[in-house]
Amino acid sequence: MVSHGTASDPGSAREPARSGAAGPFEHRMDRVRAAMVEREVDVLLLSVGPDLPWLAGYEAMPLERLTMLVVPVDGDPTLVVPRLEAPRVVERPGVFGLRAFGETDDPVRLVAELVGSGASTARLAVGDRTWARFVVDLQAELPGARWSRASTVTGPLRALKEPGEIEALRAAGEAADRVAAQLQCGEIGLVGRTEAEVSADLGARLLAEGHQRVNFAIVASGPNAASPHHEPGDRVIAPGDLVLCDFGGTMFTADGVGYCSDITRCVSVGEPPSEVADAYAILHEAQEAAVEAATLGTACEEVDAVARRIITAAGFGDRFIHRTGHGIGVEEHEDPYIVVGNAAPLEAGNAFSVEPGIYTERRWGLRLEDIVVATPDGPDPLNTVDHALVVVDG
Ligand code: ZN
Ligand code: ZN
Ligand code: ZN
């Protein structure tokens, strides 16, 4: 089912391709094809972004040279790659064929040809993160085609994790927990260091604990913690500070697909003021109740509401300024979102964060975050490190 070779110069000057097992990818391709039929999509086009590694075990380089997996609903998938990147591709003959193009070839034309004879009226779903320069050029090449976003096909599938994906998320979560434990036991120095230095330290520890990539490491101290997505800066952490740390990275499986971690813990350098300790007790109660509420069939928005009701009853409702959570997998933020308006019921295999927060402008901020998987046996938290507002010496 696979045609190997290059667009311009078949066979010659190619590096020997590495060959990989089909892994979970054949099964995913079957699921994708079924969803394409259901959603009336003729061809799926995936470029940069997480859909491609999830479906084919290959991550496109975010470059001006096009990489695109062309998946016809009833034909063989083809991965179009720049020739110089072909050696990076782990070929999976049961999953896709490879077409490497040379520097003077037109990859947009090549993709249009692969879309096939019905191209003029094809219903195409293109990866949400595909660069506009390629989408615009493809639209010019395929003027009669109808376009939609690939996430309408892949999003609902990616939201239902396979057992192997849950184990990959668990491994990433355990590694993040180990870093959080180092923070809580005082092994990560805080006083006298800048937020940026502590952020770099957290990142290095994520790598040391088995991640291949650091995605973010928010360190927000004192009043900076009132900004949920604070950019760690040159503020020097001092005794008495509350320090909010929210960090995560990507850990790759043997199949070459990366899965994300994401955890938030707050520590206090010295005993926190009672106002902060009291607010944290409410936050902890809200987070725990929301995790417990995350049972199969419960609406995503109800999980949000459980946390919000507790925080609102304590008088902090207007200080909980974001949704309760987001799905997580090959992307840090993906379906399902734990937010008002998402009435979708939790299904077995949904993996998502539960991360309420309370923010008092210009003074302090608190957030507590775990990743949780919905299972028939109830919510399965992937982060179990101490949930308390741990006091550290410095
Ligand atoms: Zn987070
Ligand atoms: Zn998160
Ligand atoms: Zn707890």
CATH number of the domain encompassing residue 254: 3.90.230.10
Mean pLDDT, rounded, of the chain: 93
Indicate if 207 and 108 belong to the same structural domain: no
Question: pLDDT class for 6, splitting at 50, 70, 90?
Answer: very low
Specify if 2 maps to a domain.
Answer: no
Ligand nearest to the CA of 246: 1
Structure tokens at 272: 């926190």
Determine the 3-state secondary structure of 354 from DSSP.
strand
Query: How many folded domains does the chain comprise?
Result: 2
Cβ within 8 Å of residue 316, ≥6 positions away: 279, 282, 358
The percent of residues in the chain predicted with pLDDT above 90, rounded, is 89
| 160 alpha carbon – ligand 1 mean position (Å) | 21
Q: Is the pLDDT of residue 373 over 90?
A: yes
Please list all protein residues whose beta carbon sits less than 5 angstroms from ligand 2, which is an ion.
262, 353
Indicate if 223 and 348 belong to the same structural domain: yes
Indicate if 327 and 383 belong to the same structural domain: yes
Range with lowest mean pLDDT among 19-23, 97-101, 380-384: 19-23
State residue 116's pLDDT score: 82
pTM for the full predicted model? 0.91
Specify if 1 maps to a domain.
Answer: no
Cis upstream peptide for 336 (omega within 30°)? yes
| 49 alpha carbon – ligand 1 mean position (Å) | 20
| 379 alpha carbon – ligand 3 mean position (Å) | 13
Specify if 67 maps to a domain.
Answer: yes
Determine the 3-state secondary structure of 357 from DSSP.
strand
Ligand nearest to the CA of 284: 3
What is the H or E stretch that residue 107 is in? helix 107-115
282-337 pLDDT, tens digit each:
999 999 999 999 999 999 999 999 999 999 999 999 999 999 999 999 999 999 99
| 193 alpha carbon – ligand 1 mean position (Å) | 22
Domain range for 53 is 12-157
Q: Is the pLDDT of residue 10 over 50?
A: no
Specify if 4 maps to a domain.
Answer: no
State residue 19's pLDDT score: 61
Specify if 83 maps to a domain.
Answer: yes
Which of 127, 157, 187 marks a domain boundary? 157
| 164 alpha carbon – ligand 2 mean position (Å) | 21
| 356 alpha carbon – ligand 2 mean position (Å) | 10
| 94 alpha carbon – ligand 3 mean position (Å) | 45
162-173 pLDDT, tens digit each:
999 999 999 999
Indicate if 112 and 229 belong to the same structural domain: no
State residue 118's pLDDT score: 72
Indicate if 86 and 166 belong to the same structural domain: no
81-133 pLDDT, tens digit each:
999 999 999 989 889 999 999 999 999 999 999 998 676 689 999 999 999 99
Which of 131, 157, 183 marks a domain boundary? 157
**Distance of alpha carbon 360 from the chain centroid:** 28
State residue 155's pLDDT score: 96
Indicate if 151 and 272 belong to the same structural domain: no
Specify if 3 maps to a domain.
Answer: no
Q: What is the spatial order of strands in the sheet that 370-375 belongs to?
A: 334-338, 325-327, 351-354, 370-375, 378-381
Range with lowest mean pLDDT among 17-31, 42-56, 336-350: 17-31
Handedness of CA 341, 346, 351, 356 (dihedral sign): positive
Q: Is the pLDDT of residue 50 over 80?
A: yes
Q: Is the pLDDT of residue 219 over 60?
A: yes
130-186 pLDDT, tens digit each:
999 999 999 999 989 999 999 999 999 999 999 999 999 999 999 999 999 999 999
* Cα gap 348→26, rounded to integer Å: 21
Indicate if 177 and 306 belong to the same structural domain: yes
Indicate if 190 and 61 belong to the same structural domain: no
| 81 alpha carbon – ligand 1 mean position (Å) | 34
Neighbours of 134 (CB within 10 A): 21
State residue 93's pLDDT score: 87
Indicate if 38 and 105 belong to the same structural domain: yes
339-357 pLDDT, tens digit each:
999 999 999 999 999 999 9
| 372 alpha carbon – ligand 1 mean position (Å) | 13
**Distance of alpha carbon 76 from the chain centroid:** 28
Indicate if 114 and 196 belong to the same structural domain: no
- Give the CATH number, domain containing residue 141: 3.40.350.10
Structure tokens at 279: 């607010």
Specify if 341 maps to a domain.
Answer: yes
Question: pLDDT class for 13, splitting at 50, 70, 90?
Answer: very low
Specify if 345 maps to a domain.
Answer: yes
State residue 363's pLDDT score: 95
Indicate if 126 and 223 belong to the same structural domain: no
Which of 137, 157, 177 marks a domain boundary? 157
Indicate if 240 and 148 belong to the same structural domain: no
| 284 alpha carbon – ligand 3 mean position (Å) | 6
Ligand nearest to the CA of 287: 3
Structure tokens at 43: 């061809």
Mean pLDDT of 65-76: 95
